[in-house]
Structure 1
Amino acid sequence: MDLDRIDREILLAVQADGRITNASLADSVGLSETPCARRLRRLEADGFIEGYRATLSRRALDLGLMAFTQIRFGMHDRELTDRFEREVQGIPRIVACHNVAGTADYMLTVVARDLDDYGAFVRDVIRTLPGVTSVESILSLREVKRHGGLPLL
């Protein structure tokens, strides 16, 4: 499906503010409310909008440490990687998981209260996940950009 200028403006607006009212959205893109609501429903139905969510504060939740954790496997077995991926889904501290190319097999984004908390999590949880033979951590010193949204190319 081709997106026209108004569809793109709608997507940018709801990406910036998922709680924007239909009236404000319609006004910002230059439509009346009914056609705007119709377009928004179509963009949702066509899969351009996957959902809406709130952005929580790591600081307020006392999750001051963010780590990028590279995981390596000793052997590459489909059943093992499937088990690893299933288990990762159920661990809330792992906020993102990517199967990557390069020296690592997976890149995790992990949050923790502090370095001691993260160390215990690596020892007690990450190292016990199926297939994991090597763990390398990269600690975030400062978050420069967060949830910038997807570009509409």
Structure 2
Amino acid sequence: MAKTDSELVRIDRIDRQILEHLQKDGGLTNQQLAERVGLSPSPCSRRVKALEEAGIILGRKTLLERRKLGLSLTVILQIGMDRHTPERFQEFEDQVATYPEVQELYLITGQQADYILKVVVPDMEHYQQFLLNKITRITGVSGVHSSFVMRRVIDNTELPLKYL
């Protein structure tokens, strides 16, 4: 396996199986994972370590159910910036990265907006405070369009490994 960020890392069938299983359940023990991919524990552990060192496995996280924790409102924001300079974009990105409400941030093209954000908050009152006290106070924000998610239809964190 290559170990640089700039090169495409080639993986084999067993590596792909390991990644598929870990994407579905990052809490698998090495023993459980080894059984599922048909390896003994030591080679399985070495492969997982190699995938981590190659930068393919970035970490393991626990997914939480938002609504059961009182985070019932998901908002998609489209943000327009007043100037399209690297400094302005970096300032915006650095500030937004400090907001725990922001789940995703994308710099986009092909729309009137420059950024799309996915934000999770308890309710409309909290969203209003987030919007007015945080987003609109960032230097350079010239426009905000909010769309409110009615229902999550697909919310998938797994990458399509079938293309590898």
Distance in 1, matches of 2:115 and 2:59, equals 25
Structure 1 residue 147: Cα displacement = 2.8
Q: Secondary structure at the match of 2:58?
A: coil
Say yes or no: does 1:16 pair with 2:24. Answer: yes
Q: Which runs of 4+ in 1 moved over 4 A?
A: none
Matched letter for residue 112 of structure 1? V
Q: Unaligned stretches of 5+ in structure 2?
A: 1-8
Structure 1 residue 78: Cα displacement = 2.1
Distance in 1, matches of 2:18 and 2:146, equals 39
Say yes or no: does 1:79 pair with 2:87. Answer: yes
Q: Secondary structure at the match of 1:69?
A: strand
Say yes or no: does 1:113 pair with 2:117. Answer: no
Once the two structures are superposed, the pairs formed by residues 67-106 of structure 1 within 5 Å of their partners are: 67-101=75-109, 102-106=111-115
Structure 1 residue 37: Cα displacement = 0.7
Within the candidate set 83, 106, 131, 2:140 is matched to 131
Aligned to 1:64: 72
Matched letter for residue 137 of structure 2? T
Matched letter for residue 126 of structure 1? I
Structure 1 residue 82: Cα displacement = 1.1
Between the aligned residues of both structures, percent identity stands at 39
Matched letter for residue 83 of structure 1? E
Aligned to 1:52: 60
Structure 1 residue 130: Cα displacement = 1.8
Matched letter for residue 123 of structure 1? L
Kindly tell me the number of residue pairs found equivalent between the two proteins.
Answer: 153
Structure 1 residue 120: Cα displacement = 2.2
Distance in 2, matches of 1:13 and 1:133, equals 44
Q: TM-score, normalised by structure 1?
A: 0.95
Matched letter for residue 58 of structure 1? R
